[in-house]
Amino acid sequence: MTTSHRPTLESRKGRDLQQTSIIHSRQVAAHKQLKYRKTTTIDPVDAKEKFNELKLELLQREKTHFKDSKGDDYDYKDRQLAIEDGEVESYEDRMERVAKETKDLDDSSDEEEDQEDEGSESESDEDDESDDDAELLKELEKIRKERAQAELQKQLKEKEESAINSNPLLSNNNSTGVRKNWRQDKVFNYKNNQEKHKTDDDYVNDLLRSDFHQKFLNKYVK
């Protein structure tokens, strides 16, 4: 952000000045203390205790909420929970259903492990064929990468050559010539070469270099 719109508090002068006692707030050093990142070590036991405390706190809040809204005789565990098919189930039914599903998942995982052991022998023969195919695919991928790299190098080389040729300072072609300065074609520039080949019929659009002015200087000044 620029500060050019702010007034100058002290005028800047082009000479050495004695040190004054004037101090501005923006010249005072600030933030002199470097802040370091704090390293904390988390104990698993403490983390588990905090988790249990948070869980108990949430359960207590839930109890308080249902007692305030439903009354003191209401048991929050008996509330009805909606499931996907539109039916409702109690808290205990839901816990039993979740336990049963987890047990079924454990049994299915054991069966899958047995099937994997039986199918490992049959897959060993197929692995040999797949290894050959994988080697061929690797070779093809390697060839494609080499061709792509060569094409990229070619494009970069062509781009570099075009950039060099487009720059008249770097190119060796001198057919373009040297550009003239814009002041060379103006009237008030010294044109020594033109004065050498000057004729009587030349008209100069400059009063200081006109023939009348030159004659006047030769007559009255010299």
User: For the chain, which residues make up each domain, given as ranges?
Assistant: 136-167
Token pair for 127: 């692995």
Give yes or no for residue 158 having a pLDDT over 80: yes
pTM over 0.75: no
Provide the terminal-to-terminal Cα distance of the chain, rounded to the nearest Å.
Answer: 62
Give pLDDT, residue 67. Answer: 79
Q: What pLDDT band is residue 83 in, cutting at 50, 70 and 90?
A: very low
d(CA 76, CA 92) in angstroms, rounded, equals 11
Beta-bridge partner residues of 81: 89
Cα–Cα separations (whole angstroms), residue 212 to 189, 208, 216, 218 = 19, 9, 6, 10
d(CA 104, CA 109) in angstroms, rounded, equals 9
d(CA 170, CA 182) in angstroms, rounded, equals 23
Q: Specify the pairing of strand 88-89 against strand 81-82.
A: antiparallel
Give yes or no for residue 154 having a pLDDT over 60: yes
Give pLDDT, residue 82. Answer: 44
- Tens-digit pLDDT profile for residues 99-131: 777 777 767 666 666 666 666 666 666 667 777
d(CA 20, CA 9) in angstroms, rounded, equals 14
